[in-house]
Amino acid sequence: MFKKILIANRGEIACRVIKTARKMGILTVAVYSEADKDSLHVMLADEGVCIGPAASKESYLSIDKIIAACKQTGAEAVHPGYGFLSENAVFSRRLEEEGIKFIGPKHYSVGKMGDKIESKKLANDAKVNTIPGYADAIDTPEQAVVIAQGIGYPVMIKASAGGGGKGLRVAFDDKECFENFTSCRNEAKTAFGDDRILIEKYVLEPRHIEIQVLGDAHGNTVYLHERECSIQRRHQKVIEEAPSPFLDPATRKAMGEQAVALAKAVNYESAGTVEFVVGADKSFYFLEMNTRLQVEHPVTELITGIDLVEQMIRVAAGEKLSFTQADIKLEGWAMECRINAEDPFRGFLPSTGRLVKFQPPTETTDANGTTRVDTGVYDGGEISMFYDSMIAKLIVHAKDRSSAIDRMRDALNAFVIRGISSNIPFQAALMQHPRFHSGNFNTGFIAEEYPKGFDASMVPHDNPALLVSVAAYVYRSFTDRSASVSGQLQGHERIVGDKWSVVRLNPDGNENHLVVARPIHGGYFVEYMGENYEILSDWKLGESLFNGTCNGEPFTLQVERHKTRYSLFHWGTRADFMVMSARAAELLALMPEKVAPDLSKFLLSPMPGLLREVAVTVGQEVKAGEKLAVIEAMKMENILKAEQDCKVKKISAAAGESLMVDQVIIEFE
């Protein structure tokens, strides 16, 4: 067994590998860019080596620098994590030539199966069903359009070396094909250093189901069941679960055996994933093979009890698999939510900056299941614009799917993130969606259910009385403490009444809720709309998490105070309140509304990022829907288009410039 390994990655996956290595008694080396010098993976590792500037091409994608770090520290093996160099055959071959073990498949397997064009040819040779398409690299957007016309729209345009949704678009006509080909190629070159693009038929109403495989150097290969990854937004996975609510045992077995056959065809050693697109009739087609550990591997670990990182290390060290296919169990139901630094209420634009507060739910294993958090950040840390948007992975395991959903809802309620925006409200809404509960969904689920985007009204809350009651509790706690201050003039002490107006602040008009709130032992008793609510809690002023019971039923929500206002977060809903006397509420209703400034004549940067392109010139007449500019942030290209017909008056930012949120890019007449 290795004594020391180097992790050629950053963030959550680097921390994940360190955790297993420590359990196995193996020392770890972290490599990091200058932007990551204070990152969690650097703190957790036994050693750290700085390998260059923030840009990935000059640090995490530099093969020479990583090999030099291995030699400097005496690391015997390298775990690549996912992304970066994890599927780079040149990297794994160079390591082998230097006498350093690659904790992953051999370079010839990476080369054959990690390349989407080559892997599709191999799958055809192995008589695996594949999707119709063009399996050679495409040079120009004009050529792409001709090929797409031959296949028939819609088509999927994707980078040959791609992964994680980067360098991937769906086109429904010639115009989209032309534009998306260029964007995919640019993203692929930036993210992977390989701009080859292929095109294939896009299967309508597909499910994305993948099979986890594991092979050793002694000819043993097994599959560890499937993962359902159909809940996606812009081809990025949002929720993953295992097993799939769609597959039956016969289909699971057929897909697993086909995945194993494909892995054996290239003498696959290590953990890998064979991705399939599955039709409504349970027909399945090979999509691609990811020759690395997947982001969503924890759900497989929880249903099988097998540590995949440990198995990768053991296989790389030459050990045989210690179990056979018959030994692999499938117990309970696991689910993972990707917690990303993005604002779901602003079109999921990236959100970067300081984590003013980062308080994930407590990791637990009890009689009802498991709650697990895999992360690479910490309270007070920074989310950088240079890398991907993932903050953490929230994973749960329970006896069945319904119980897993309930456990995930509770965990999302207890996940506190402040300072930046996160997609937790969106995840909470998905956890409550009837169609998600039914298991009847496909990869188009989010686009179909949220065609105009996502807003606060789409986060259902079926117990508004709980929010009103807790708002009254919180305000009375604050008021009662203020009234208990010492040194008050005798006979003129502050007296706190029991009758209050809880004003919920809404953009389309405030709601006044009259309540009676009086203290009782361990909490407050609230009367609201003829009903009684006994709220008991040991919550203290200033705490973000409010754990308590309402009429004996336990709940968890989050509280944030903003001077005279309170924000409550529960089931993805944010509710803003002010609590005051009935007379004060009457006067508040008479206050004039502050009108927001008219910004329609400006194109503002919706996110911090790099301005890649300004597509218009001063004086140009622009039609609604035309491209205005391209911003790159978190390794993704974001195209900004005109919302209405307009004429360009002034260009205020130049290509190559780093932009702040709401910085003016273009001014219109």
Amino acid at 34: E
Q: What is the phi-psi region of residue 214: left when phi exceeds 0, alpha when psi lies from -120 to 50, beta otherwise?
A: beta
Q: Is 331 tagged catalytic?
A: no
- φ/ψ of residue 102, rounded to 5: -100, 120
The residues facing 133 across adjacent strands are 200
Distance CA 361, CA 71 (A): 39
Q: Is the dihedral of CA 196, 200, 204, 207 positive or negative?
A: negative
Beta sheet of 77-79, edge-to-edge order: 47-50, 27-32, 4-7, 77-79, 101-102
Distance CA 617, CA 631 (A): 17
The 10 Å Cβ neighbour count of residue 126 is: 15
Rounded to the nearest angstrom, the gap between the alpha carbon of residue 99 and the centroid of all alpha carbons in its chain is 36
Greatest alpha-carbon pair distance for the chain in Å reads 93
The helix (run of H) or strand (run of E) holding residue 2 is none
Contacts of 641 (CB under 8 A, 6+ apart): 625, 626, 627, 628
Distance CA 4, CA 27 (A): 4
Distance CA 91, CA 85 (A): 7
Nearest alpha-carbon partner for 385 in 608, 638, 639, 659: 608
Asked if residue 356 lies in contact with residue 395, where contact means CB atoms within 8 angstroms, the answer is no
**Matching residue, tokens 């002010």:** 578
The helix (run of H) or strand (run of E) holding residue 147 is helix 141-151
Distance CA 134, CA 200 (A): 6
Asked if residue 503 lies in contact with residue 518, where contact means CB atoms within 8 angstroms, the answer is no
Distance CA 541, CA 566 (A): 12
Q: In a 10 Å sphere around its CB, with 0-12 CB exposed, 13-18 middle and 19+ buried, how is residue 226 labelled?
A: buried
Distance CA 148, CA 171 (A): 9
Count of CA atoms in the C-beta half-sphere (13 A) of 565: 11
The 10 Å Cβ neighbour count of residue 125 is: 9
Give the Cα-Cα-Cα angle 75, 77, 81 (nearest 5 degrees): 115
The helix (run of H) or strand (run of E) holding residue 192 is helix 174-192
The residues facing 173 across adjacent strands are none
The helix (run of H) or strand (run of E) holding residue 499 is strand 499-505
C-alpha distances out from residue 649 to 594, 621, 669, Å = 28, 10, 5
Distance CA 27, CA 45 (A): 8
Nearest alpha-carbon partner for 177 in 157, 158, 202: 157
Q: Which of 288, 342, 632, 637 is catalytic?
A: 288
Nearest alpha-carbon partner for 615 in 637, 596, 634, 591: 637
Distance CA 50, CA 68 (A): 11
Helix or strand or coil: residue 249? helix
Catalytic residues: 288
